[in-house]
Chain A
């Protein structure tokens, strides 16, 4: 019988959080949704989802979420970024060239090259090459994105996916894990990731 983990889901106004909350509740987590930076800065575990535009994300970072998230990451708590919640960890994105991300990691977020064969957004179930214990190598996850992360430090990469070439699908460093795909929309593979995160070494 595992311990019920307390998880704070960060509400930066970047899309609906219900599916993410439900996915964590299914994994027996005690979920709080918060839009309060001071509470976020003190949380014992953060989940940062996000859909939509990088520009809106950058505005939320400026509104006080940025400092709160950077403080929490610096404290080394278990941290899970999803989709835009992964992209925002980097310096900037081609989607909004003048907007600043959290800058936790060096690197950029770039658009998929437009060519005749590649559909953008990258939308649907794709299999990953994963080297991280939260994921199973070869498993399929649900992706939906037009931009992807290019970390300057390749040792951050925890999983890649093939879409017009090798694309970063997840990164990990210490107790932080972030994925481009949506575990909350990825049936058993996603549930397994969330359970692994809740029972991972970050909590010890």
Chain B
């Protein structure tokens, strides 16, 4: 049976792991390569890097980081942030990323998704959607540029469109919950997972193990991404695994031989 995935995420800025609250107020949490290696040893199912470096020069450090990380972990690595062109995707894949996530560039030119998917395979293309709840409380708007620009696009409609265009996976982040530790926006997660036939990663808001459980049980996510709870050392990956298994969620057994 296909198991639900636990994905520790590293927000990387200028070569360091940082984490903010609602996309702002960043704190330094360590060396990305070391963090990734620790998560790998702890039995993460995948690892994600989101690069929030602004300057072009500093982005070069990202490639080196991705290379060193990919060489030292034995699970898939997703890398995103600032990906604008097909060459950006190629460079990240060549550096060792297994999947590359695109956000702003996909909104600006949806054909970019189809083009990238055709060139590198749907399995390598993740579309990241930053979602903000609308004033009506029942719908969500797609935001780009690290959450700074509204697009007017409806999240569920956009998710369907990117899946049809060839996205292999959707990384769905609730901007309202990101970094708050209030839990995923479960209505958002459920709305998107029920609308598309590609896997959906729930993101934004995890503060407790119950939040990750609910992402699967209520949001029907295929994977749960979390950042702060792992960096803070509040929980280790195996704590999550044990907790989810006890809650009846199918997760990969770990630490019992190699099975």
Question: What is A's interface to B at a CB cutoff of 8 Å?
Answer: 15-16, 18-19, 22-23, 51-53, 114, 116, 118-127, 136, 138-140, 142-146, 162-163, 182, 184-192
A16-B96, A120-B197, A144-B76 known; A188 vs B258 contact (CB < 8 Å):
yes
CB-CB nearest in chain A for B120:
A52
Q: Which residues in A have their C-beta under 8 angstroms from that of B169?
A: 121, 123
A71 and B122 alpha carbons, distance in the complex (Å): 31
Q: Digit string of B1-33 for contact with A (CB within 8 Å is 1, else 0)?
A: 111110000000000000000000000000000
B185 at interface by CB-CB < 8 Å: no
Shortest distance between the CB of B101 and any CB in chain A (Å): 14
Cβ-defined partner of B124 (8 Å) among A52, A124, A125: A52
**Contact of A142 with B197 in the complex, beta carbons under 8 Å:** no
**A51 vs B90: C-alpha distance when bound (angstroms):** 13
Q: A121-B198, A124-B222, A127-B3 are in contact. List 8 more A-B contacts (CB 8 A).
A: A15-B120, A19-B71, A121-B122, A124-B199, A182-B76, A184-B74, A187-B43, A191-B258
* Cβ < 8 Å to A, chain B residues 197-256: 197-199, 222-223, 252-253
Q: A18-B96, A121-B198, A124-B2 are in contact. Are A140 and B76 (CB under 8 A)?
A: no
Give the residues from 112 to 137 in chain B that come closer than 8 angstroms, CB to CB, to chain A: 118-124
What are 28 A-B residue pairs whose CB atoms fall within 8 Å in the complex?
A: A16-B94, A16-B96, A18-B67, A19-B98, A23-B74, A52-B121, A121-B199, A123-B123, A123-B199, A124-B222, A125-B2, A125-B45, A126-B2, A126-B3, A140-B3, A140-B252, A140-B259, A142-B45, A142-B75, A143-B2, A144-B123, A144-B168, A146-B122, A182-B76, A184-B74, A187-B40, A188-B258, A190-B74
Min CB–CB distance B64 → chain A (angstroms) = 13
| Given A118-B197, A123-B222, A144-B76: A51 touches B2 (CB 8 Å cut-off) | no
Contacts of B123 in A (CB 8 A): 51, 121, 123, 144-146
In the bound complex, CA of A124 to CA of B76 (Å): 9
Alpha-carbon distance between A23 and B75 when the two chains are bound, in angstroms? 11
Interface string of B176-200 (1 = CB under 8 A from A): 0000000000000000000001110
- Least CB distance, A5 to chain B, in whole angstroms: 19
Check A126 against B1 for contact (C-beta < 8 Å): yes
User: Which chain B residue has the least Cβ–Cβ distance from A145?
Assistant: B123
Q: Are A19 and B96 in contact (CB under 8 A)?
A: yes
Interface of A: prevailing SS: mixed
In the complex the two chains form, is A114's CB within 8 Å of B93's CB? no
B70 within 8 A of A: yes
Residues of A within 8 A of B76 (CB): 142, 144, 182, 185
Contacts of A119 in B (CB 8 A): 197-199, 222
Contact with A along B98-120 (1 / 0, CB 8 A): 10000000000000000000111
| In the complex with contacts A51-B121, A53-B121, A191-B74, A123-B168 CB distance below 8 A | yes
**Chain A contacts for B4, CB-based, 8 A:** 124
Distance in Å: Cβ of B212 to nearest Cβ of chain A: 15
Looking at the complex, which one of B70, B118, B197 makes contact with A18 (CB distance below 8 Å)? B70
Bound-state CA distance A196–B3 (Å) is 25
User: Which of A23, A139, A182, A184 interacts with B258 by CB under 8 Å?
Assistant: A139
In the complex, chain A residues whose CB is within 8 Å of the CB of B75 = 142, 185, 187
Q: Which of A18, A143, A185 contacts B74 (CB 8 A)?
A: A185
Residue of B nearest to A126 (CB): B2
Cβ-closest chain B residue relative to A25: B71
Residue from B5, B96, B168 in contact with A125 in the complex, judged by beta carbons closer than 8 Å: B5
Q: Which residue of B lies closest to A163 (CB)?
A: B2
* A120 proximity list for chain B (CB < 8 A): 197-198
Question: B120 contacts which chain A residues (CB < 8 A)?
Answer: 15, 51-52
Q: Name which residue of chain A comes closest to B94, CB basis.
A: A16
Residues of A within 8 A of B71 (CB): 18-19, 22
Contacts of A22 in B (CB 8 A): 70-71
Map CB proximity to A onto B59-103 as digits: 1 under 8 Å, 0 otherwise: 000000001001100111000000000000000011111100000
A19-B70, A125-B45, A142-B76 given; A114·B121 CB < 8 A: no
